[in-house]
Amino acid sequence: MENEIEPDVIWEQRVKDIEAEKEGRVITSPGFSFSGGGFLLPYHLGVAQFLIEKGYIKETTPLAGTSAGAIVSAVIASGATMDEALKVGKILGNDCRLNGTAFRLGAALRDLLAEHLPDDTHTKSNGRVRVAITQILWRPRGLLVDQFDSKEDLINAVVASSFIPGYAAPRPATIFRNRLCVDGGLTLFMPPTSASKTVRVCAFPASWFRLQGIEISPDCNPENRATRRELLKWAREPGEDEIFDRLFQMGYLDAAVWGEQNPVEVIVADESPLVENGSEK
């Protein structure tokens, strides 16, 4: 289905997806969208740690993400802790530092997701997590997916969302549901959630982009911010474990600054009634 408001965005709505949504639960409380960021993934994990710890993200909170943001969204939905995710991220970083990143990142990421995500991750993600992918034929268009048939289908979506040609595999694109696709950040850097309000989280300073609505980013805490050169380097090449820890702490502190200005009792106070199976809950 094409989005009438944003014609460059395609909604992956198969018949069984529509039926699943009818049986599901519509959540209109604030959702959180995580940007692409490459190996700045620990920044997102730090933000998520604060949001979960302080009650902003609950078991039903809508999530969305591109690339690194898609990974963290799936991890949150799976029920894993952010500390566990950080340890797995360090495993990926160490692997890429020792064996190289070019042409093999996609396979390494797939193996780790298959090993560490629970088997029911896809059911926990259905209707809650939106993964952004870029479909490249016949022209680049954003593709949003929020229903997954299996754990493998979810992993395929996340890997497609993270597919940077030259990094992920020795080919210019990947196949997702019979479509040629690449990294979701090309068209949907911070995709919308299913909530009435989406809080956008960017691993790069919001001032770098002409994008509206970025609320949590390194701009929240300039004194704690890394330099432009450091962030760009760490996004492309995985840093040592100490860098991952630093990024995690940066994300946590930036989210804490945002939290001071947006108390949880205020930001969730505007949520509309939950609707389940067509009736108010």
Respond yes or no: is residue 183 known to be catalytic.
yes
Inform me whether the pLDDT recorded for 277 exceeds 50: no
Tokens 């302080």 appear where? 54
Strand partners, 64: 33, 130
DSSP code, position 2: B
Tokens 């604060």 appear where? 50
- The predicted pLDDT at position 27 comes to 52
Helix or strand holding residue 275 (H, E): strand 275-276
By C-alpha distance, which of 118, 216, 115, 108 is closest to 162? Answer: 108
Respond yes or no: is residue 119 known to be catalytic.
no
* Residue 149: strand, helix, or coil: coil
Annotated catalytic residue, options 33, 183, 194, 217: 183
The residue ranges of every structural domain in the chain are 9-258
pLDDT digits (tens, 9 = 90+) for 3-30: 433 445 655 655 554 555 555 555 547 8
The number of beta carbons lying within 10 Å of the beta carbon of residue 228 is 12
Strand partners, 181: 135, 174
Tokens 């944003």 appear where? 6
Q: Please state, in angstroms and as integers, the Cα–Cα distance from residue 154 to each residue in 71, 114, 151, 243, 251, following that order.
A: 10, 10, 5, 29, 25
The encoded tokens of residue 101 equal 């990143």
- The predicted pLDDT at position 13 comes to 53
Annotated catalytic residue, options 29, 35, 67, 73: 67
pLDDT digits (tens, 9 = 90+) for 181-221: 999 998 999 999 988 889 999 999 988 877 778 999 999 98
One-letter amino acid for residue 26 of the chain: V
Average pLDDT over residues 58-63: 94
Helix or strand holding residue 34 (H, E): strand 31-34
C-beta of residue 132 within 8 angstroms of C-beta of residue 116: no
One-letter amino acid for residue 243 of the chain: I
Distance CA 277, CA 259 (A): 33
DSSP 194-233: SSSSEEEE-SS-GGGS--S-EEESGGG-GGGPPPHHHHHH
